[in-house]
Amino acid sequence: MLGRRLMLAAACSLASLGQACAQPAGQDTAAAAPNVRVFDLPKGARVHDVAPAPDGKVWYTAQRQGALGILDPKTGQVRQVPLGQGSSPHGVIQGPDGAAWITDGGQNAIVRYDPRTEKIDVWKLPEDTGYANLNTGAFDGDGIHWFTGQNGIYGSLDPKTGAMKVFKDVDGRGPYGIAATPAGDVYYVSLAGSHLARIDRKTGAATIIEPPTPAQGARRVWSDSKGDLWISEWNSGQLSRYSPPTGQWQAWKLPGDAPKAYAVYVDERDIVWVTDFAANATLTFDPKTEQWTSIPGSGAGANVRQILGRPGEVYLPESGTDRIMVVRTGG
């Protein structure tokens, strides 16, 4: 499948906040900017998360088809690797070993795909965990894989020994996004619990850090180069920042009347990317200037649920259109 150059305006400035940048509903956009390409995925894949893969490729989770997808942006070629009976993968990241580490809700397991051998390893959650609705993973500075389960758990897997530990979140249902800082510390957020949590890497204990906005619906978290944490708040429609050294919070409301902030990512330039389901767009935010720009979805209801990238490129998986948008940032 070949990538398509976008035909319409891609990024529009939102210096005057609230102006419409997204395309009319139902219109299959595509955009003009030479720095944006859109790739079709197998119909019904329902791509959820993406991650950089070796050799410039992009991994994605085909949640509805139980597979790990591999996109080669150079050629537009896509193939999918089945992950096992009942698989429904949610998150994917590249581990320090160069493998894909997948949080697989359908298999209630952490799954590893080795791109060199194509071997798939599956670590089921302990039986008494029950169905966890596994969500997202991150590696800490010691090479331990940490993960969240939206039914109210977080846990760890030591890739060397296979030892797995599962812990209950204090607020129950909700653990969603998880990320590591440059120092190797791990934080996760709870959507239903509306909190940020810092994990003690040695004990597994989580310290809850409550954002100042009540019931904000913290959905995803990402770290910038300084270790400050950026959080997408689904209920409040805010992008917020927490600074661990100072304990200070700051929040910015997304443009529009009723934004719904879903995914968040910080690129290598410390530009923050956040998706807004209400606007059907991905926004960038420059903390230095506090200016927003907007990149419309490639079609109606694009629903970008996660963002990731590598220096010079950002990947926007559109769960609603079965496409991946690749934005070259020139970094």
Partner 1 sequence: MKHRAIGITAGALVAVASMALSAPETSPRNAGERAYQKCYSCHALEPGKNDLDGPSLHGIVGRRVAVERGFAYSPAMKRFAARNPRWTPQLIDRMAADPEALIPGTSMNFHGMSDAKERAALIAYLRVAETKN
Asked if 203 touches partner 1 (CB under 8 A), the answer is yes
Cα gap 282→284, rounded to integer Å: 7
Which pair of structure tokens corresponds to residue 131?
């169905």
The least CB distance from residue 207 to partner 1, in Å, is 5
Among 58, 83, 153, 254, binds partner 1 (CB under 8 A): 153
Residue with Cβ nearer partner 1 (105 or 256): 105
The DSSP secondary structure of 100-162, one letter per residue, reads EEEEETTTTEEEEE-TTT--EEEEEPPGGG----EEEEEE-TTS-EEEEETTTEEEEE-TTT-
**Choices 27-35, 198-206, 268-276, 306-314; region in contact with partner 1 by CB under 8 A:** 198-206
Residue with Cβ nearer partner 1 (30 or 125): 125
**Choices 33-41, 210-218, 223-231, 285-293; region in contact with partner 1 by CB under 8 A:** 210-218
Helix (H), strand (E), coil (C) string for 155-202: EEECCCCCCEEEEECCCCCCEEEEEECCCCCEEEEECCCCEEEEECCC
Segment (H or E) for 90 = strand 89-94
Q: Which residues contact 312 (CB under 8 A, 6 or more apart)?
A: 268, 328, 329, 330, 331
AA identity, residue 118: E
Are 83 and 6 within 8 A, CB to CB? Answer: no
The residue count of the chain comes to 331
Asked if 103 touches partner 1 (CB under 8 A), the answer is no
Asked if 127 touches partner 1 (CB under 8 A), the answer is yes
3-class secondary structure, 6 = coil
Asked if 191 touches partner 1 (CB under 8 A), the answer is yes
Among 209, 253, 287, 310, binds partner 1 (CB under 8 A): 209
Cα gap 108→125, rounded to integer Å: 6
The least CB distance from residue 122 to partner 1, in Å, is 8
Residue with Cβ nearer partner 1 (211 or 256): 211
**What is the pattern of x (binds partner 1, CB under 8 A) and - over residues 225-264?**
----------x-----------xxx----------x----
Q: Which of 63, 81, 70 is nearest to 134 (CA)?
A: 63
Asked if 142 touches partner 1 (CB under 8 A), the answer is no
The least CB distance from residue 133 to partner 1, in Å, is 5
Asked if 95 touches partner 1 (CB under 8 A), the answer is no
* Contacting residues toward partner 1, per CB under 8 A: 25, 44, 46, 48, 63-64, 66, 86, 88, 105-106, 108, 110, 123-131, 133, 150-153, 155, 157, 162-170, 173-174, 191-192, 200, 203-212, 215, 217, 235, 247-249, 260, 277, 301, 303, 305, 319-320
